[in-house]
């Protein structure tokens, strides 16, 4: 079972408050291999978090298109006609689908994927057409197994395959996976070469600075990735020994950017549009990757795209947050129902109960993030934690809407379908 993110991992040590740079914005797009990613924002792969429900939820929460601006087709046409390509690209403020340019799966064990039955493999690699572009992340240490699993990912229709060299979890490192490989650069080179030779889709890698401060290898590793034909690199600017503590050291992202010509994605301590723009300003990175902020502020990608386009962004109201909770929980319940219909005859009733338990477990996990700082949120968390089934959790949320929030029936009908795009209150 994959370890879920905890509240401790979702906290920052004395976070630095950045101001918005006067000129720099998050780029409108970047290209990985032949895949155009617009805007240049990436949802980080997170074990126990970035399943298909959360990925689609983020897409929906991030929808943004600048009112009164040119259509995307007009913007792209403008780009093709201008001599100043860089300025023109900046006019492409977002793809009209979402303020999140690229989403990534939870990391998946290459060893496990290669041994799975086809039916179980489909569950791990489930995605929907509206999730494109999407990257599948693998971890492992056997070059041949990773190459075989990359072929499976390519055959499944993913746009990009990514190698995890960043996970600090002890059990992953114990298998020489994740950040454990950072102590064996020759093996990493072999993995790069085998996977690159195995697939035609873009191949990327996400890694940390090194094992510890005495073993900083990020620049050397990025150069190796480029020489082996990888299409982009993503750096979480901490060491494995750091875990999630201390400040992300963005200067290492800048050093990697200076060392290679392929796109560099920066990751670490982005909690706001100001942070995202500040990272681009400080490092010159081509895109930003956001992890821990996404569960607690699913609007972060929309806010970044909105600021890029207009110079301001909106903050969610309490009503928006409550609607968001209900929307996500409804999506979870719907996904469980779909899995039971599609797999129940194959897996049996015990598996169906396991799917239901997983659904309720995720509701309880996300309730802690979604309700953080919301008036009355503690009462809703208690009610959710006491519920035993998905429908019971939804009932508690509906009761909370009708009671604690004192929202009029005309504003939010109990049982109505929550809007796909939450309305947001203005905040400069």
Q: Where are the alpha helices (DSSP H) in 284-314?
A: 293-296, 300-310
Q: Which residues face 195 on adjacent strands?
A: none
C-alpha 251/C-alpha 266 separation (Å) is 10
C-alpha 188/C-alpha 123 separation (Å) is 28
Tokens of 136: 């599948």
Catalytic residue among 167, 218, 285, 359: 167
Distances (CA, A) of 148 to 133, 159, 194, 200, 403: 22, 16, 9, 13, 53
* Beta-strand runs (E) in 176-334: 203-208, 232-236, 264-267, 287-290, 313-315
Q: Are 123 and 53 in contact (CB under 8 A)?
A: no
Q: Are 125 and 153 in contact (CB under 8 A)?
A: yes
Cis peptide before 405 (omega within 30 of 0): no
C-alpha 66/C-alpha 61 separation (Å) is 15
Tokens of 304: 């970044």
Residue found under tokens 């298909």 = 52
Distances (CA, A) of 217 to 165, 211, 283, 353: 12, 8, 18, 45
Is 167 a residue of the active site? yes
**Left if phi > 0, otherwise alpha if psi is -120 to 50, otherwise beta: which for 17?**
beta
Q: Which of 164, 247, 160, 146 has the alpha carbon at shortest distance from 208?
A: 164
Residues annotated as catalytic (active site), given as ranges: 167
């Amino acid at each position: 079972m994959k370890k879920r993110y905890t509240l401790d991992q979702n906290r920052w040590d004395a976070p630095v408050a950045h101001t918005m740079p006067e000129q720099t914005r998050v780029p409108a797009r970047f290209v990985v291999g032949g895949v155009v990613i617009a805007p240049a924002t990436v949802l980080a792969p997170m074990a126990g978090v970035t399943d298909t429900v959360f990925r689609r939820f983020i897409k929906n929460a991030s929808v943004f298109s600048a009112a009164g601006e040119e259509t995307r087709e007009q913007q792209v046409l403008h780009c093709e006609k201008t001599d100043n390509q860089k300025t023109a690209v900046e006019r492409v403020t977002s793809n009209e689908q979402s303020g999140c340019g690229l989403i990534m799966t939870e990391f998946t064990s290459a060893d496990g994927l290669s041994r799975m039955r086809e039916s179980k493999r489909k569950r791990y690699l489930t995605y929907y057409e509206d999730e494109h572009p999407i990257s599948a992340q693998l971890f492992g240490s056997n070059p041949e197994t990773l190459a075989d699993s990359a072929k499976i990912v390519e055959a499944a229709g993913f746009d990009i395959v990514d190698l995890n060299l960043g996970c600090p979890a002890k059990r992953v490192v114990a298998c020489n996976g994740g950040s454990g490989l950072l102590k064996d650069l020759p093996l990493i080179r072999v993995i790069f070469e085998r996977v690159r030779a195995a697939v035609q889709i873009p191949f990327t890698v996400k890694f940390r600075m090194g094992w510890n401060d005495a073993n900083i290898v990020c620049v050397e590793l990025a150069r190796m990735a480029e020489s082996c034909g990888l299409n982009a690199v993503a750096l979480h600017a901490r060491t494995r020994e750091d875990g999630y503590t201390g400040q992300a050291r963005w200067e290492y992202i800048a050093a990697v950017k200076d060392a290679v010509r392929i796109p560099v994605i920066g990751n670490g301590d982005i909690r706001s549009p100001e942070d995202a723009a500040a990272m681009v300003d400080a490092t010159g990175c081509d895109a930003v990757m956001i992890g821990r902020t996404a569960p607690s502020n699913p609007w972060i990608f929309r806010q970044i795209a909105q600021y890029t386009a207009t110079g301001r962004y909106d903050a969610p109201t309490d009503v928006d947050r409550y609607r968001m909770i209900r929307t996500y929980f409804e999506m979870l319940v719907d996904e469980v129902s779909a899995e039971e219909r599609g797999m129940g005859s194959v897996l049996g009733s015990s598996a169906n109960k396991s799917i239901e338990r997983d659904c309720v477990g995720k509701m309880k996990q996300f309730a802690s993030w979604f309700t953080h700082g919301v008036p009355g949120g503690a009462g809703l968390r208690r009610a959710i934690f006491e519920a035993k089934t998905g429908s019971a959790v939804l009932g508690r949320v509906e009761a909370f809407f009708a009671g604690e929030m004192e929202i009029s029936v005309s504003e939010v009908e109990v049982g109505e379908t929550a809007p796909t795009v939450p309305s947001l209150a203005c905040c400069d």
